[in-house]
Structure formats: structure tokens, C-alpha cells
């Protein structure tokens, strides 16, 4: 505080000395000089005192006076500001014009060129007639996930786009979002054709096939076109992310659907099958499918052979393959035929088992009487199982008659007594006759002879002849045949 007090003393002295100056000089012209100087004398000690004031903590530092601009500088500044306002106004007009043009392009769904100038968050920024536009990365190509490298190399290029979205608010802010994805899709569907080959990526796998992405567009590879061999589950062949070469099978540009095929690019599993599976070779297989006429057995990956119903049993007439085998069952089979060109494999199941027909004569000699169970019955006769193994055929003519033109009714499951009429092991033929049928037939023939019928006894064929034409005809048909 003492420093500040001492610093103010010269100011008071200078003021005291300057006060009487007007009184001492009566002449008026001497007055301006002291007045003009007095302030100068009083200000010098004040300036000297400023450092002492700065030394005091918390004391403010006086701001320096801003230099004033000359008239020329002020004029130049005003000119630059006017030019800037004019430039911004011109840019605004150009943006408004460009926005109106973009609105027209959007209304007409027209395409136009845009220069891509920089990479920004979420996509690329371009320019159209002085107005900046935004091209999202998801609209840059057909694929939604575009690699960063591809986006980077696009800077500086001119691309064709369409207006995707326009926005304008009350403040005058305007923005435009463009897309080229629809343009590329239109080009894709107008140029793609059946037979074209692509390298694609599996995007998903279903029970009916696999979807494959080829350049951003997904197509379906149906399970029937996924492999040269039959496939029950596509997931056993391909998985999501697999690279797959495919051929365009069908194109529906209107519905924008694409059917693809892979089997043309798959090495056939049937190559060399003739050498790998010679006739007579026995292999293990798994039953995959069962039909009315047989079963398909897989003997190797993607190789299935047909096991016909007639090759299931040596002695039994199988009604349905499921009576003998089941889906998923592993069985031994024998190769009956192989055709690499037609991709066919004939299999046998009964060939892997002993053949009872080789000893049938010792088991069922001709003339033997035995019990049998009816398996099937028809207008031609009945199938009867004897010795729990052999299915023999009993013609209608060898069934007991119960009246003119009528036979005993036989139903599946009936147990009857039969006589072995004929056995031919080579052709696996067993002919049976119902017990009592011979007597009923002889009695009927005797009556016919007494009545003047022309069906002589000597025309009957011996039982050992097997099934004859007479076995397949009824009594009236036989009578008409011999009358002729």
C-alpha cells in the first residue's frame, strides 16, 4: 500500500503546479500550451507506477487498445465480406437448382452420374452440380456388405446412381441420398442367362436345398441338383460359408428367382463303379428308402443300388419289402449288375443266404401230403406256404369244387391240407393241390361223360407237368375248348 501511495504523490504535485498557470499569464494565447502538456506531465508518473500495481497479486492488466483501420483497409474488408456473401448466395442458388433437378430425377426414376469425392462414415460422399450427395455403403453394390478396399478404390470415380431419398427443412437445409444397387440389379437380371457358370458362396442350407450367393444375388440349388447321386439331407454335403461352383439352370427375371445347379461340377461318384463292384461281389449296405417294388441300399457315399422285391427271399412271395427289411438296417447284399454310364447298381439280398430250393425235393417230394397256410387268394388260384418256408401255387383247377363252377372259398390265414403236385428246383416252382380236389374233379368228369360231354379223361395232363393252360381255365372254358 505504501508503494501505491508514493506513486500517487507526483501526480498531485504536477497538478498543483499546473493550477496557477492560467492566472499568471493574462494573455489568452499562453493558456493552451500548459493545458496540453499538463496531462502529459501527470501521465508519466502514472505509467511508471503501473509495474508496482502489476506486482500486487490479483491486480488486472489493462488491455492494449486495438489499432484502428484506415479507410482503405475498411473498404477492402467490406469488399471481401461482400464477395463472400455473394459466393455463398451463388452456392445456395446452385444447391437449390440441383435439389430441384434431383427432385425431378427422383420423380422420373431416372439415372444420372455422380463423382465420388471422399470416404465418409457409413459410405461415400459425391457431388452433383455443386450439391453434395451421400451414397451409403449398403447401396454401393448388389452386395450389402461391401469390402472396405472396394469402397476406397471408388474415390474419384464417376458412377451412375438414382435418387433414393431427399430431405429439406424450414431452415433451408437440404440433403440427398443416392443408390446404385437397383441399377446393378437391373443390369444383372437383364444379362444373366441359363448356362452361365459362377463361383458362389453358400448362405444357408435347408431341407430342400442350399441358397448360394453369386455376386450379391441368391439362387437356390435344389437338393436334386446338388449332387449326381441322391441326397436325403443337403446338410451332409454343404454348409454355410462353403464356396461352390454352380451353373444357372433357370432364370425368372419377372419374379427375380434363380435356380442353380452344382452336380455338373461334381466328380461323379460312379466313376469306376464297374471295376469297384464286379458282379458277384458281396458288400455291406444301409437301407435308405423302401418302395412297393423294392428298396434302395447305400453301399458307398453317394452310391445307392436297387434291391428288387423279387431278390429278397428264395422261397416266399414277399408282399412288401418292409416285411423283410427296414429303413436304416444294415444288410449284406450281392452285386447282380453294375452300369457306370446309367449310374445303376442291381443288388440281391437272398443271394447272401443259403438256397432252400437246392434241397426242396428231399423236404417236399412229389405226392407228399402236408399242412399249408393260405397267403394270397385270387381268381387264378391261391398262394400257400408249406414247411414254413416255401410258397407254392395252387391253381384254381386244383381247389376242391363245391358245385357247378364253384370252388371252396380260401382266405389268407386259412390252414388247409395240400398235396405236392409238382416241384421244379431249377425254376423255383412248387405246384400244390388241395386234398380232395382230384376226387371232385374226377367225379365231375365222369358226370360229363355220362351226360354226353366231350371232355375225355385221357385229355387230362399228368400232375408232373406243372402248371398248364388247363390249370388257368375254368370248367366251362375247358369244355368250350375241347368242343371246338
pLDDT tens digits for range 424-440: 888 888 999 988 876 65
Whether the predicted pLDDT of 247 surpasses 80:
yes
| Whole-number pLDDT of residue 11 | 34
**Highest mean pLDDT pick, 24-38, 52-66, 202-216:** 202-216
**Confidence label for 144 from pLDDT (cuts 50, 70 and 90):** confident
Whether the predicted pLDDT of 416 surpasses 80:
yes
| Whole-number pLDDT of residue 67 | 65
| Whole-number pLDDT of residue 326 | 94
Whether the predicted pLDDT of 260 surpasses 80:
yes
Average confidence (pLDDT) over 40-49:
39
Whether the predicted pLDDT of 56 surpasses 50:
no
Q: Which residue has the higher pLDDT, 6 or 264?
A: 264
Model's pTM, two decimal places?
0.48
| Whole-number pLDDT of residue 169 | 78
| Whole-number pLDDT of residue 208 | 92
| Whole-number pLDDT of residue 441 | 57
Q: Which residue has the higher pLDDT, 78 or 252?
A: 252
**Confidence label for 95 from pLDDT (cuts 50, 70 and 90):** confident
Whether the predicted pLDDT of 131 surpasses 70:
yes
Average confidence (pLDDT) over 13-25:
38
Q: Which residue has the higher pLDDT, 245 or 23?
A: 245
- Above pLDDT 90, what percent of the chain? 34
Mean of pLDDT over the chain: 78
Whether the predicted pLDDT of 475 surpasses 90:
no
Whether the predicted pLDDT of 255 surpasses 70:
yes
Lowest mean pLDDT among 160-174, 289-303, 334-348, 456-470: 456-470
| Whole-number pLDDT of residue 258 | 92
- Above pLDDT 70, what percent of the chain? 76
Whether the predicted pLDDT of 17 surpasses 70:
no
The per-residue pLDDT for range 366-377, each reduced to its tens digit, is 889 899 999 888
Q: Which residue has the higher pLDDT, 393 or 172?
A: 393
Cβ contact 334:351 at 8 Å: yes
Whether the predicted pLDDT of 43 surpasses 80:
no
Please name the residue that has the C-alpha cell 453394390: 141
Whether the predicted pLDDT of 34 surpasses 70:
no
| Whole-number pLDDT of residue 439 | 61
Whether the predicted pLDDT of 12 surpasses 60:
no
Amino acid at each position: 500500500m505504501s508503494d501505491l501511495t508514493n506513486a500517487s504523490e507526483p501526480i498531485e504535485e504536477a497538478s498543483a503546479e499546473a493550477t496557477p498557470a492560467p492566472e499568471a499569464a493574462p494573455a489568452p494565447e499562453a493558456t493552451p500550451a500548459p493545458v496540453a502538456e499538463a496531462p502529459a506531465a501527470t501521465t508519466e508518473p502514472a505509467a511508471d507506477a503501473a509495474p508496482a500495481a502489476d506486482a500486487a497479486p490479483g491486480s488486472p492488466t489493462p488491455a492494449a487498445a486495438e489499432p484502428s483501420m484506415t479507410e482503405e483497409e475498411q473498404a477492402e474488408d467490406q469488399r471481401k465480406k461482400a464477395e463472400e456473401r455473394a459466393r455463398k448466395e451463388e452456392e445456395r442458388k446452385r444447391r437449390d437448382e440441383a435439389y430441384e433437378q434431383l427432385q425431378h430425377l427422383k420423380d422420373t426414376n431416372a439415372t444420372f452420374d455422380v463423382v465420388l469425392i471422399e470416404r465418409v462414415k457409413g459410405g461415400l460422399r459425391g457431388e452433383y452440380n455443386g450439391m453434395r450427395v451421400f451414397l451409403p455403403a449398403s447401396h454401393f453394390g448388389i452386395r450389402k456388405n461391401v469390402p472396405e478396399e472396394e469402397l476406397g478404390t471408388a474415390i474419384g470415380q464417376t458412377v451412375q446412381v438414382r435418387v433414393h431419398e431427399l430431405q429439406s427443412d424450414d431452415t433451408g437445409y437440404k440433403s440427398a441420398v443416392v443408390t446404385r444397387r437397383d441399377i446393378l440389379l437391373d443390369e444383372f437380371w437383364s444379362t444373366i442367362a441359363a448356362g452361365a457358370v459362377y463361383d458362389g458362396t453358400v448362405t444357408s442350407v435347408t431341407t430342400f436345398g442350399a441358397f448360394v450367393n453369386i455376386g450379391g444375388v441368391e439362387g437356390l440349388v435344389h437338393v436334386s441338383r446338388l449332387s449326381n447321386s441322391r441326397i436325403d439331407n443337403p446338410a451332409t454335403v454343404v454348409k454355410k460359408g462353403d464356396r461352390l461352383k454352380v451353373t444357372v439352370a433357370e432364370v425368372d427375371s419377372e419374379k427375380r428367382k434363380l435356380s442353380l445347379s452344382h452336380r455338373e461340377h461334381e466328380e461323379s461318384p460312379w466313376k469306376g463303379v464297374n471295376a469297384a463292384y464286379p458282379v458277384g461281389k458281396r458288400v455291406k449296405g444301409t437301407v435308405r428308402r423302401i418302395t412297393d417294388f423294392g428298396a434302395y441300399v447305400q453301399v458307398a457315399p453317394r452310391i445307392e443300388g436297387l434291391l428288387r422285391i423279387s431278390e429278397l427271399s428264395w422261397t416266399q412271395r414277399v408282399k412288401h419289402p418292409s416285411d423283410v427289411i427296414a429303413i436304416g438296417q444294415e444288410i449284406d447284399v450281392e452285386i447282380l449288375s453294375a452300369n457306370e454310364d446309367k449310374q445303376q447298381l442291381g443288388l440281391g439280398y437272398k443271394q447272401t443266404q443259403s438256397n432252400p430250393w437246392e434241397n426242396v425235393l428231399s423236404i417236399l417230394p412229389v405226392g407228399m401230403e402236408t399242412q399249408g397256410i393260405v397267403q394270397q387268394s385270387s381268381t387264378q388260384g391261391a398262394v400257400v406256404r408249406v414247411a414254413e418256408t416255401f410258397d407254392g401255387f395252387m391253381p384254381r383247377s386244383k381247389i376242391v369244387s363245391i358245385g357247378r363252377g364253384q370252388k371252396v372259398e380260401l382266405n389268407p390265414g386259412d390252414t388247409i391240407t395240400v398235396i405236392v403236385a409238382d416241384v421244379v428246383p431249377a425254376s423255383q416252382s412248387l405246384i400244390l393241390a388241395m386234398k380232395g380236389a382230384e376226387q371232385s374233379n374226377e367225379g365231375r368228369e365222369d358226370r360229363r361223360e355220362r351226360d354226353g360231354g366231350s371232355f375225355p379223361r385221357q385229355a387230362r395232363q399228368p400232375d408232373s407237368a406243372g402248371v398248364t393252360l388247363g390249370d388257368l381255365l375254368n370248367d366251362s372254358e375247358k369244355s368250350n375248348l375241347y368242343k371246338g
